[in-house]
A and B are shown apart, each in its own frame.
Chain A
Amino acid sequence: MTEFLQQIVNGLTLGSLYALIAVGYTVVYGIVQLINFAHGEVFMIGAFGALATWTVLFKGQHGLWVLPIMVLGAVIVSVLTAVVMERIAYRPLRGAPRLAPLITAIGISIFLQEAVRLFYPGAKSKLTFPEIEVVSGTALQVGGLTIQRAAVFTVGALAVSAVLLWFFVNRTRLGQGMQAVSQDPDTAQLMGINVNRIIVIAFALGAALAAVGGVAQGLLNSNIDFRMGFLAGLKAFTAAVLGGIGNIQGAIVGGLTLGIAESMATQFIPGQFGGSAWKDVWAFVLLILVLVFRPQGLLGARVVDRA
Chain B
Amino acid sequence: MSTSTPDLTHGAGHGDHDDHVTVPLLERFPGRGSAAAWPLGLVGVLLLVGGTFLSWSYTGDVLGDLSINFYPGGVQICMIVLGLVALAFLLAHRGPLSRLGDWLDSAAAVRNLGLGAVAYMAVAIGVIAYESGGLINVNPGGWVSLVGALLLAASGLMLVSRQHKDPLFAKTTSWLEICAIIVLMALVLFGAAYALGIGDGASFVLFLMFVAAAATALAKSGVFTWIGLIAQKNRPVLMLGAFAVAFLFPFTQGGSDENMSIATQVLIFAATALGLNIVVGLAGLLDLGYIAFLGAGAYVGAVLSNSAFATIGWKPPFLVVVLVGAIFSSILGLIIGSPTLRVSGDYLAIVTLAFGEIFRFTMGNLDGNNGPDLTNGPNGVPAIPDLNFFGFDFGQPHNVAGITLGRFANYYFLLLVIAAIIIFVFVRLNNSRIGRGWVAIREDEKAAEAMGVNVFGLKLFAFAGGAFLAGMAGTVKAHHDVSVTPDQYIFLESAFLLAAIVLGGMGTVAGVLVGATILKLLPEKLRFIADYRLLIFGLVLVLMMRFRPEGIIANQRRKLEFHEDDEDLAERIEEVHLEEAEAKA
Contacts and interface: CB of A to CB of B under 8 A. Distances in A.
Contacts of B28: none
Contacts of B353: 234
B549 A96 contact: yes
Contacts of B541: 103-104, 106-107, 110
Contacts of A96: 545, 549, 562
Contacts of A192: none
B494 to A, nearest CB: 9
B358 A285 contact: yes
A76 interface: no
A83 interface: no
Chain B interface mostly? helix
A230 B360 CA distance: 14
Contacts of B342: 295
24 contacts: A35-B346, A89-B546, A99-B345, A100-B562, A103-B498, A103-B541, A103-B545, A104-B545, A107-B537, A110-B538, A111-B535, A111-B538, A111-B542, A112-B538, A114-B535, A234-B354, A234-B357, A237-B350, A241-B347, A273-B370, A277-B361, A281-B358, A287-B350, A295-B342
Q: Which of A112, A285, A292 has the most CB of B within 10 A?
A: A292
B357 A284 contact: yes
Interface of A: 33, 35, 89, 92-93, 96-104, 106-115, 118, 230-231, 234, 237-238, 241, 272-273, 275, 277-278, 280-281, 284-285, 287-288, 291-292, 295, 305, 307
B571 interface: no
A280 B95 CA distance: 70
Given A98-B345, A291-B340, A106 B498 contact: yes
A101 B289 CA distance: 18
Contacts of A285: 358
Contact of A241 (B350, B362, B540): B350
B534 A110 contact: yes
Contacts of B370: 272-273, 275, 277-278
Given A114-B532, A307-B344, 13 more contacts: A102-B346, A106-B541, A110-B534, A110-B541, A113-B534, A114-B534, A234-B354, A234-B357, A237-B350, A238-B354, A277-B365, A291-B347, A295-B347
Contacts of B495: 106, 110
Chain A interface mostly? helix
Contact of B546 (A93, A284, A305): A93
A292 B340 contact: yes
A104 B538 CA distance: 8
Contact of B532 (A100, A108, A118, A241): A118
B541 to A, nearest CB: 3
B522 interface: no
Contacts of B286: 99, 102
Contacts of A93: 545-546
Contacts of A111: 535, 538-539, 542
B544 to A, nearest CB: 8
Interface string B316-357: 000000000000000000001001101111110111011101
Given A110-B492, A272-B372, A284 B538 contact: no
Contact of B361 (A106, A112, A278): A278
